[in-house]
Amino acid sequence: MGKDQFEFARIASPEEIVDYLTSLAVGLKRGEVTLESGERTLHLTPPAELKLDLKVVQKEHKGKLKLQLGWKRQASTRLAELRVQAPPRSDRH
Protein backbone atom coordinates (compact mmCIF):
# COMPACT_ATOMS: atom_id res chain seq x y z
CA MET A 1 0.00 0.00 0.00
CA GLY A 2 1.27 3.48 -0.83
CA LYS A 3 1.98 6.37 1.44
CA ASP A 4 -0.90 8.75 2.09
CA GLN A 5 -0.20 12.17 3.60
CA PHE A 6 -2.28 14.97 5.04
CA GLU A 7 -0.80 18.29 6.15
CA PHE A 8 -2.47 21.23 7.81
CA ALA A 9 -1.14 24.36 9.51
CA ARG A 10 -2.75 27.55 10.73
CA ILE A 11 -2.61 30.16 13.45
CA ALA A 12 -5.49 29.54 15.87
CA SER A 13 -6.70 30.51 19.32
CA PRO A 14 -6.16 28.16 22.26
CA GLU A 15 -9.91 27.40 22.18
CA GLU A 16 -9.72 26.30 18.52
CA ILE A 17 -6.69 24.12 19.26
CA VAL A 18 -8.55 22.53 22.19
CA ASP A 19 -11.46 21.75 19.84
CA TYR A 20 -9.10 20.03 17.36
CA LEU A 21 -7.39 18.03 20.10
CA THR A 22 -10.70 17.08 21.73
CA SER A 23 -12.10 15.82 18.43
CA LEU A 24 -8.89 13.88 17.85
CA ALA A 25 -9.10 12.34 21.35
CA VAL A 26 -12.74 11.32 20.86
CA GLY A 27 -11.90 9.75 17.50
CA LEU A 28 -8.95 7.84 18.96
CA LYS A 29 -11.19 6.46 21.72
CA ARG A 30 -13.66 5.30 19.07
CA GLY A 31 -10.92 3.86 16.87
CA GLU A 32 -11.68 6.12 13.90
CA VAL A 33 -10.46 9.58 12.96
CA THR A 34 -11.36 11.52 9.83
CA LEU A 35 -9.37 14.58 8.80
CA GLU A 36 -10.87 17.03 6.30
CA SER A 37 -9.46 20.23 4.81
CA GLY A 38 -10.84 21.66 1.60
CA GLU A 39 -11.28 18.80 -0.83
CA ARG A 40 -8.80 16.57 1.01
CA THR A 41 -10.07 13.83 3.34
CA LEU A 42 -8.10 11.14 5.16
CA HIS A 43 -9.77 8.41 7.22
CA LEU A 44 -7.66 6.70 9.90
CA THR A 45 -8.35 3.56 11.90
CA PRO A 46 -5.47 3.32 14.37
CA PRO A 47 -5.08 0.10 16.37
CA ALA A 48 -5.54 -0.21 20.13
CA GLU A 49 -1.82 0.40 20.82
CA LEU A 50 -0.20 3.66 19.73
CA LYS A 51 3.25 5.16 20.19
CA LEU A 52 3.32 8.63 21.73
CA ASP A 53 6.27 11.01 21.25
CA LEU A 54 6.11 14.32 23.06
CA LYS A 55 8.78 17.00 22.77
CA VAL A 56 8.67 20.44 24.38
CA VAL A 57 11.16 23.27 23.90
CA GLN A 58 10.77 26.45 25.94
CA LYS A 59 12.93 29.49 25.15
CA GLU A 60 12.79 33.00 26.53
CA HIS A 61 10.33 34.39 23.96
CA LYS A 62 8.88 31.34 22.28
CA GLY A 63 7.96 27.73 22.87
CA LYS A 64 7.12 24.65 20.87
CA LEU A 65 5.27 21.46 21.73
CA LYS A 66 5.45 18.59 19.25
CA LEU A 67 3.04 15.72 19.66
CA GLN A 68 3.43 12.70 17.43
CA LEU A 69 1.32 9.55 17.41
CA GLY A 70 2.43 6.49 15.51
CA TRP A 71 1.30 2.95 14.83
CA LYS A 72 1.86 0.04 12.55
CA ARG A 73 -0.93 -1.37 10.49
CA GLN A 74 -1.73 -4.89 11.44
CA ALA A 75 -2.52 -7.36 8.73
CA SER A 76 -6.18 -8.20 8.95
CA THR A 77 -6.99 -11.85 9.27
CA ARG A 78 -10.20 -13.26 7.97
CA LEU A 79 -11.85 -16.20 9.66
CA ALA A 80 -12.62 -17.68 6.26
CA GLU A 81 -8.88 -18.17 5.68
CA LEU A 82 -8.59 -20.63 8.59
CA ARG A 83 -9.51 -24.21 7.90
CA VAL A 84 -8.96 -26.93 10.46
CA GLN A 85 -9.74 -30.56 9.75
CA ALA A 86 -9.24 -33.79 11.58
CA PRO A 87 -9.20 -37.12 9.77
CA PRO A 88 -12.24 -39.30 10.37
CA ARG A 89 -11.87 -41.45 13.46
CA SER A 90 -11.37 -45.08 12.76
CA ASP A 91 -13.10 -47.41 15.23
CA ARG A 92 -10.89 -50.31 14.11
CA HIS A 93 -8.39 -51.53 16.69
Q: Report the distance separating Cα 88 and Cα 86, nearest Å.
A: 6
pLDDT digits (tens, 9 = 90+) for 14-23: 999 999 999 9
- Look at residue 92 and tell me whether its pLDDT is greater than 70: no
Residue 85 confidence class, pLDDT cut points 50, 70, 90:
confident
Q: What is the pLDDT of residue 86?
A: 72
pLDDT digits (tens, 9 = 90+) for 31-75: 999 999 888 889 999 998 999 999 999 999 999 999 999 998 766
CA 4 to chain centre: 13
- Tell me if the pTM is above 0.85: no
| Residue 44 burial (10 A CB sphere; 0-12, 13-18, 19+) | middle
CA separation, residue 37 to residues 2, 65, 91 (Å): 21, 22, 69
**Structural contact between residues 74 and 57, judged by C-beta atoms closer than 8 angstroms:** no
Q: Report the distance separating Cα 59 and Cα 56, nearest Å.
A: 10
